[in-house]
Amino acid sequence: MDQGGRSGSRIGSRLQAVAALALALYAYRLLLRLPEPTLLGNFEAWLFEPGEHVVFPALVGTAWLLARRARSFVELPPQTAPGLAAGCLGSASALYAWSVLSGSWPLLLPSLVMLGFGFAALWAGRAGCRALALPLLFLLVAFPLPAPLRHEVVWAQQEATAAVTASVLGGLGETAYSEGILIHRPGTLFIVIESCSGFRFATVFGSIGLLLGGLARQGVPRLLLMLFTGIGTGLLLNEIRVLWIVLTSSSWAASSDHTLQGLAAIAIGVPLLLVVQRFGRGVPGSTAGQPASRTPSGAERDAQRPGWAPTLGLLGLFAALSLLLAPTTGQRAPALDLSGIPGAQGDWRSSLLPTDFLLLGSVGFDQVLRRGYKHRDGMQLELFIGSEGGGDPEESPFSPVTELPETGWVVLERESAEISGRPAERLVIGGRGVRALAYTWRVGDSGLLVETLRAAFGLPLGAVGAPQRRTVVRVSAELALEGPEDRSRADARLRDFVSTFLAEFNAASGS
């Protein structure tokens, strides 16, 4: 081929690459969405809010890693792996179609990853997939932890942060103790809310550590070291932040200075990770400086490539699917009418109690009822019902926090039980000098593993979504005395209460 022909071929290839990029940006446009209207709001959501997900930083990190590997990738020998490419592209197509049908945007992330692997397999076979493995997999750091699992992890981190902070304060000579997610100091109370749990700090700095390791072309052992060092750095910086807020006793420090707190954390954490990154260069496990295998003739190599046609065709199909398909909603039970729960009956009288939404955090309830009942003999009970709304796969009504009435309470004892013919958890809960016996059960709960997978694949909104309104119920009675007789009396009253008062709920929920 003469020089003019080769030049025209290169121009054509570049135009096809630009067209592929444009189609990809359109087909995967939902990944560019931002949860907050302002730049600072998105920065704070990325650093602090467990339930908010800003994909843009992960896209930037992936692009940076790809740019560092682009030359060595294009110079790989032309080896196509048809079976691998077909599997990857087929998976990308299935994930994309289901993402559109289910309305679950996070599934676009693994779809884009598999599309990248499919392109790499067409371009340079298995060697191409290995070359782009880290940049593509890095994109998955933006995949949100499914809500049922996230609630478990964040709550555990909230309790741990409160306990560690109280212990450190005690070591510093301060008077402090923790109770659940409350930190008690003389005259003041501090609540470790979700944004202070350290969950986002751990994920953000873990991602930064992985990115820095990838930029240095470190091997898997060093990448894991950078990942876990980043997670540890994030947790440590969050603990320092919480300690500062508690010690300064400043509401300004606690709520109105998130941007500066985030910038300060990055200014401290990133240099620490850079030190670890530089320490890892040139040691066993590092792949920095290893030359990629190359063909002597770039023109011959390019002539043997399959071209952009398969990728362009698939991206065009994705763009069309995003226009032609619409999310499907499976048949769902009607919303519960909690007004049907009787407020008074026989010797029981009730009053509405305020719901501790600070405790509930990001738990996905559409309706909440919290009511206190008092018997004429003085026995007091509490009823809590929380029901989901439209079944958003990014939300879940299931969380450990629903076992507790208010912040500062903890679960002291737990055992499996049965009440009114349904499986339940029998708990002894305590907080603020009070103890109570409680029964709690969930409607529509398939267990943590199944609920996590259901949320990950967008099933609550899909055509095969759960038909029930997922609901949490808790009934509790204060224990005036610590003894078997008092527990037996409270247990009998709770069982009688459930069978008498929740008939309307049973009919409404189908349980």
* Partner residues linked to 371 by β-bridges: 352, 383
Give the model confidence (pLDDT) of 449-485 as tens digits: 988 998 888 875 444 445 568 889 999 999 876 677 8
Cβ burial 223-256 (10 Å sphere, 16+ → b, else e): bebbbebbbebbbbbbbebbbebbbeeeeebbee
| pLDDT in the model for residue 433 | 84
Kindly state the average pLDDT of the residues 262-276: 92
| pLDDT in the model for residue 116 | 95
Sheet-wide strand order for 188-191: 177-179, 182-185, 188-191
Kindly state the average pLDDT of the residues 96-118: 93
Place of tokens 């499986």: 423
* Partner residues linked to 443 by β-bridges: 471
Are the CB atoms for 122 and 80 separated by under 8 Å? yes
Q: What's the whole-number average pLDDT of the chain?
A: 84
- Higher per-residue pLDDT: 236 or 480: 236
Cβ neighbors of 249 (< 8 A, separation 6 or more) are 185, 188
Separation of alpha carbons 502 and 269, rounded Å? 52
| pLDDT in the model for residue 60 | 93
Is 363 in a helix, a strand, or coil?
Answer: coil
**For the whole model, what pTM was predicted?**
0.86
Statement: residue 202 has pLDDT above 90: yes
Residue 156: other Cβ atoms inside 10 A: 13
Statement: residue 119 has pLDDT above 70: yes
| pLDDT in the model for residue 142 | 92
Please return the burial class of 210, using the count of CB atoms within 10 Å of its CB with bins 0-12, 13-18 and 19+.
buried
Q: Which two tokens stand for residue 93?
A: 């197509």
Total length of the chain: 511
| pLDDT in the model for residue 331 | 59
| pLDDT in the model for residue 132 | 94
Statement: residue 38 has pLDDT above 60: yes
Q: How confident is the model at residue 289 (pLDDT cuts 50, 70, 90)?
A: very low
Statement: residue 338 has pLDDT above 80: no
Give the model confidence (pLDDT) of 296-328 as tens digits: 445 555 555 666 778 888 989 998 988 887 776
| pLDDT in the model for residue 500 | 78
Are the CB atoms for 334 and 368 separated by under 8 Å? no
Kindly state the average pLDDT of the residues 263-275: 93
Statement: residue 413 has pLDDT above 90: yes
Phi, psi of 189 (to 5 degrees): -130, 140
Task: Return the top range by mean pLDDT from 39-43, 162-166, 172-176.
Answer: 162-166
* Partner residues linked to 397 by β-bridges: none
**Least confidently predicted of 286-295, 345-354, 414-423, 463-472:** 286-295
Q: How confident is the model at residue 334 (pLDDT cuts 50, 70, 90)?
A: low
| pLDDT in the model for residue 422 | 87
| pLDDT in the model for residue 508 | 55
Q: How confident is the model at residue 113 (pLDDT cuts 50, 70, 90)?
A: very high
Q: How confident is the model at residue 117 (pLDDT cuts 50, 70, 90)?
A: very high
Tell me how far the alpha carbon of residue 28 is from its chain's centroid.
20
- The amino acid sitting at 370 is R
| pLDDT in the model for residue 292 | 46
Start-to-end CA distance of the chain, whole Å, equals 75
| pLDDT in the model for residue 75 | 84
- Estimate the crossing angle of helix 309-324 against helix 3-27, to 10 degrees: 20
CATH of domain 338-509: 3.40.1000
Statement: residue 4 has pLDDT above 60: no
Pinpoint the residues of the chain covered by CATH 3.40.1000.
338-509
Q: Which two tokens stand for residue 42?
A: 């998105």
Kindly state the average pLDDT of the residues 149-167: 96
Statement: residue 204 has pLDDT above 90: yes
Q: How far is CA 157 from CA 112, 152, 176, 271, in A?
A: 31, 9, 19, 25
